Amino acid sequence: MTKHYTCPGCGATVEYDPADEKLHCPFCKKSYSPEERARLIGEATQDNASTLPSEVKDRLRESNTIPMHVLQCSACGAELAMNHVETSSFCPYCGNATVATDRLVDYLKPEYIIPFKITKEEAEKRIRESMSKGFFVPKKIKNFETERLRGIYIPYWLVDLYHSDEQFWSYKPRGDDGRRYSYRMGDCYFKHLTMEASETFNDDYSKKLEPYDLKELKPFDAAYLSGFYSDRFDVNRKRAEEQAKERATDLYNAEVYETIPGKRIEKEWENTRNIPIRAEYALLPVWFLTFRYKDKPFTTMVNGQTGKVVGAVPYIKARTTALFALFAALFIPMFSVLFAFLHRILVLLLTESDDLEAIGDGLLFYVAFLVMLFGWTWTKAAKDLRKMRESIALTCAYSTHRLVKERQDH
Amino acid sequence: MSMAYWISGIVVGVIFGLGLALRLTAYCVMKSNDYGDTSGSCSDFGEGIFLVVEDDNMKTREFNQNAKEILNKRREDLLERETGSKTGNKTGGATVM
């Protein structure tokens, strides 16, 4: 069953507008908040899902497969195909915004939603602004032609989890040869840890959309879906909780790592405890913009609440090479002269000493210093380049492009 | 200054200079072409981490039994605040690893 959210005044389909957070009628030009519309039309804002028995809800939460559905548009009667996770779309014939209410009822209604705050125009403007600033962004990308710009509510599990850890870290103190230990014991209560619940959407890419301001979570109302696409979860709660345990451990360790003094830090031992408390189902807003560059699809995203732009694009190779040559031309002569003088001073100091052991130690120290210096520059450069390549690969991943493309146009 | 100093200086200068040039170029390209490359941290999902013990500069591993008691008490209080149960089991969703 599909549902159109109709105008209490004229009966036309209304669509949610993030600009004023109201449902707008394109015909009589009236606007209503979702609660106001429901009250005027005499409709309950909560549907049957909340009254389902808890054992049925649990079974549905664990369910991981739903077949493809062909639904009938309640406005014009045309057939409307939705993939196995879509819960709202647009009718291909009459173009009306359509919400598949039976899916929301049968397969667990989301508990929360963050409505879109960023409008379609603003999302595109933000992406264009970000790209126009880039010195290494090709002109064709700066003036990209939008292939699709879609607002999609992405399913998330908001996991509450208690994490505690007792750890021994070892490190090398500065100016000391031996190794020392650090002992850390602490905990963290993760409230609403956002675990993206779509198989198609890459987790590494979706994490970059964070943070959402979860203080603005609203109780779910299907009226917010009108005018946007939305999907249901296909990662069940149990799996989300398992992933949340790993994520909590990573987040906790990253913060503790920062408190360890010295260098060459390694975790030696740990006793971790994770207690998942609850997982709530929510829909969070994302704008997806796709464009093509050299026949490859690129999908950049905008957090539909905060406006954070996420994505990476290829760079102009000629400009990058020119900048590298410029830096190299500057640094090579500068450091060559510097090191030549340093070597002379070093030899003078070492030859003045009669102690062969001290000379050996001095040389060893200098070689270690050079190895560290080379490591610092080359490994960090290689890490940055690899990270950049990975970010570009995520932006032009076919799976994300499919997530946006395989939906009904309107 | 003899030739040897210059040759050794140039060898080290080239390796370090190229590495630094590559590193700066990679940084500039990332700044220009990679948007929003950050994700959430502990403090984005609650009150952040709380460390009961922060002992450094230890020559051997030494456990702190007093801290364990403090942490256990803290966990009970936190879980009671969030779930109404000291073990978190009342909600039915909690599992202890």
ipTM of the shown complex: 0.78
Q: Which residues of B touch A336 (CB under 8 A)?
A: 6, 9-10, 12-14, 17
Would you call B29 an interface residue with chain A, using a CB distance cutoff of 8 Å?
yes
Residues on chain A touching B10 (C-beta within 8 angstroms) = 336, 339-340
Task: Give yes or no for a contact between A331 and B20, defined as CB atoms under 8 angstroms apart.
Answer: yes
Lowest mean pLDDT of A255-259, A358-362, B66-70, name the range: A358-362
Grade residue B28 by pLDDT with cuts at 50, 70 and 90: very high
Mean residue pLDDT of chain A comes to 85
CB A132 within 8 A of CB A262: no
Give the orientation angle of helix A317-352 with respect to helix B3-33, to 10 degrees: 140
**Closest B-chain CA to A237:** B93
Single-letter amino acid code for the residue at A73: C
Residue A8 has pLDDT above 70, yes or no: yes
Q: Which of B23, B33, B61 sits opposite A313 (nearest CB)?
A: B33
Place of tokens 């994505």: A311
Residue of B nearest to A208 (CA): B39
Would you place residue B92 in the very low, low, confident or very high pLDDT band (cuts 50, 70, 90)?
Answer: very low
Which residues contact residue A143 at a Cβ distance below 8 angstroms, ignoring those fewer than 6 apart? Answer: none
Does residue B97 lie within any of the structural domains? no
Residues B84 and B47 in one domain: yes
Residue of chain A nearest B4, judged by CA positions: A340
pLDDT digits (tens, 9 = 90+) for A211-257: 999 999 999 988 898 889 888 888 889 999 999 999 999 999 999 99
> Could you say which of A184, A324, A374 has the minimum Cβ distance to residue B25?
A324
The pLDDT assigned to A51 comes to 43
CA dihedral sign, ordered A42, A46, A49, A53: negative
The residue in chain A having the minimum alpha-carbon distance to the alpha carbon of residue B62 is A183
Do A186 and B38 count as a contact with CB atoms less than 8 A apart?
no
Q: Where are the domains of chain A?
A: 15-113, 120-317+393-405
A342 in contact with chain B, both atoms CB, cutoff 8 A: yes
pLDDT at residue B26 greater than cutoff 90: yes
**Mean pLDDT of all residues in B8-23:** 94
Q: Which of A80-94, A123-137, A236-250, A287-301 has the lowest mean pLDDT?
A: A80-94
**Is residue B56 domain-resident?**
yes
Of A180, A188, A276, the CB nearest to B58: A180
- Interface contact A394, partner B, CB < 8 A: no
Residue among B55, B59, B82 minimizing CB distance to A160: B82
Q: What is the mean predicted confidence (pLDDT) over A157-170?
A: 93
> Residue A96: its pLDDT value, please?
73
The pLDDT, as a whole number, for residue A104 is 62
Indicate if the pLDDT at residue B97 is higher than 50. Answer: no
pLDDT class of A320 with cuts at 50, 70, 90: very high
CB of A393 within 8 Å of any CB in chain B?
no
Average pLDDT across chain B, whole number: 83
Say how far apart CA A227 and CA A98 lie, in whole Å: 8
Give the residue on B whose Cα is nearest the Cα of A131. B33
Residue B5 in tokens: 């100093």
Specify the DSSP class assigned to residue A44: -
Q: How far is the CA of B24 from the CAs of A183, A316, A320, B20, in angstroms?
A: 36, 16, 11, 6
Torsion of the alpha carbons at B42, A279, B68 and B50, rounded to the nearest 10: 20
Work out the minimum CA distance from A252 to partner chain B, whole angstroms.
7
The model's confidence at residue A286, banded by pLDDT at 50, 70 and 90, is very high
Provide, rounded to the nearest whole percent, the portion of chain A with pLDDT above 70: 87
| CB-based contact B95:A161 (threshold 8 Å) | no
Is the distance from CB of A233 to CB of A197 less than 8 angstroms? yes
Q: Residues A168-190: what's their mean pLDDT?
A: 89
CB interface of B with A, residues 54-73, below 8 Å = 54-64, 67-68, 71
Q: Which residues pair with A164 in a beta bridge?
A: A187, A273
Structural domain range at position B73: 43-91
**Which pLDDT band holds residue A58 (cuts at 50, 70, 90)?**
low
Number of separate domains in chain B = 2
B3 and chain A in contact, CB less than 8 A = no
Write down the H helix ranges in chain B. Answer: 3-33, 65-83
CB atoms B78 and A187 under 8 Å: yes
Instruction: Please check whether residues B30 and B51 belong to one and the same domain.
Output: no
Q: Is residue B96 assigned to a domain?
A: no
Q: Compare CB distances from A187 to B9, B50, B56 and report the shortest one's residue.
A: B50
Q: How far apart are CA A49 and CA A52, in angstroms?
A: 5
Q: Write down the pLDDT at residue A64.
A: 43
Helix (H, G, I), strand (E, B) or coil at A227: coil
Cβ atoms of B45 and A191 closer than 8 Å = yes
Give pLDDT, residue A166.
Answer: 92
In terms of domains, do B55 and B28 share one? no
A403 versus A388: which is more confidently predicted? A388
Q: Do B25 and B62 belong to one domain? A: no
Share of chain A above pLDDT 90, in %: 49
Q: Does A135 touch chain B (CB under 8 A)?
A: yes
Chain A CB within 8 Å of residue B90 CB: no
Lowest mean pLDDT among A259-273, A311-325, B53-67: B53-67
* Cβ-Cβ contacts under 8 Å, A191 against chain B: 45-47
Residue A35 pLDDT class (50, 70, 90 cuts): confident
Are B31 and B49 within one domain? no
| Token representation of residue B61 | 């591993």
Quick check: B11 pLDDT over 50?
A: yes
Q: For A22-26, A44-48, A225-229, A382-386, which range has the lowest pLDDT when averaged over its residues?
A: A44-48
